[in-house]
Amino acid sequence: MPGPGMSTMAAMKAAVIYENGPPAALRYEDVPEPVCPDGGVVVDAEAISIEGGDLLARASGQLASVPHVVGYASAGTVSEVGAGVEGRAVGDRVVAMNAAGSHAERRAVFAAMTWPIPAGLDAARAACVPVAFGTAYECLFTAGNLSAGQTVLVHAGAGGVGTAAIQLAKRAGATVISTASSDAKLERLKSLGLDHGINYATESFVERTMQLTESRGVDVVLDSIGGQNLVDSIGVLAYRGTLVSVGTAARAGSAVEARSLWTRKQRVARRVAHRLAAVGVRARASDDRRAAGARRER
């Protein structure tokens, strides 16, 4: 399991896998208790969240060792504090994150990967905040530079990142458009701040988005689908718009033609290892520019 080590002195219950597979691969069994590392804390679990990434990791992620304790995020109470830790004490209620280890009675994480739970917020709700809202915030504002008065299209609005993005975008003063697979889902999203919903099962999101924006397009697209959905999303970007790619739920690759971005000075960004990095136009674009320059010189 990635991160701090495990003790051999005592046991705790955890959900583990020995190989990748469907939910049936999960086992509920005893594993060694975690060791509190320097710079880290041990958190006794009160609640865990189950993220989309957890499902992908179980199905096809790398297992550093077995048994492998799955899970990104959890919330609970600090029971041990390692050397060198400041700002955390035994008894603190925190949300904790790591690449694995949340689906257990206790977990060891570095203190920097914990956040205090505000008074009045229960553990179950707190456990769901860091991945969904942290991802949505970085996508919208760090990569997308979304600001008041702009328009954003959020794909898969009924998912965890989608529901978080709708709320954050609306609070920032943006007009929010979102896709979902049913009218019922879109109706529920209105209470979160959705301005316009698109049922992608019954209509083209490209055509409907351009209708809603009077052919201007949107300033930011947040795409967690990938595949052809990402490619089609370029068609709804406004001049100097940004497409932020944060997932590949479609389990398919995307071939983006660089020239489709140049004419309207658009940008593609992707989220990497919990941060966002602009990818824009890569090697082929550089090759095309060099070729164009050579032609001009002739």
User: Per residue in 76-99, pLDDT tens?
Assistant: 999 999 999 999 999 999 999 999
Confidence label for 268 from pLDDT (cuts 50, 70 and 90)? low
Q: Which of 27, 164, 169 has the alpha carbon at shortest distance from 103?
A: 27
Tokens of 135: 């991802």
- Which of 70, 99, 127 marks a domain boundary? 127
Same domain, 164 and 269: yes
Residue 296 resides in a domain: no
Q: Which domain holds residue 170?
A: 131-284
What is the mean pLDDT of the segment spanning 275-293? Answer: 33
Same domain, 176 and 106: no
Same domain, 41 and 153: no
Same domain, 25 and 149: no
- Which of 127, 152, 171 marks a domain boundary? 127
What is the mean pLDDT of the segment spanning 155-168? Answer: 96
Same domain, 160 and 94: no
Residue 101 resides in a domain: yes
Q: Which residues contact 274 (CB under 8 A, 6 or more apart)?
A: 134, 138
Q: How many domains does the chain have?
A: 2
Q: DSSP per residue over 43-106, as a string? A: EEEEEE---HHHHHHHHH---SSSSEE--SEEEEEEEEE-TT--S--TT-EEEEE-SS--SBSE
Same domain, 196 and 135: yes
The confidence score (pLDDT) of residue 142 equals 93
The confidence score (pLDDT) of residue 263 equals 54
Q: Which of 178, 211, 180 has the alpha carbon at shortest distance from 195?
A: 178
pTM of the full structure: 0.78
**Which run of H or of E encompasses 262?**
helix 259-262
Residue 297 resides in a domain: no
Residue 278 resides in a domain: yes
Report whether pLDDT(238) > 90: yes
- Which of 127, 160, 178 marks a domain boundary? 127
The better pLDDT of the pair 284, 57 is held by: 57
Same domain, 262 and 222: yes
Which CATH number characterizes residue 260's domain? 3.40.50.720
Same domain, 147 and 253: yes
Q: Which residues contact 119 (CB under 8 A, 6 or more apart)?
A: none
Report whether pLDDT(273) > 90: no
Q: Which of 41, 75, 72, 91 has the alpha carbon at shortest distance from 135?
A: 72
Which CATH number characterizes residue 15's domain? 3.90.180.10
What is the mean pLDDT of the segment spanning 190-197? Answer: 98
Same domain, 58 and 27: yes
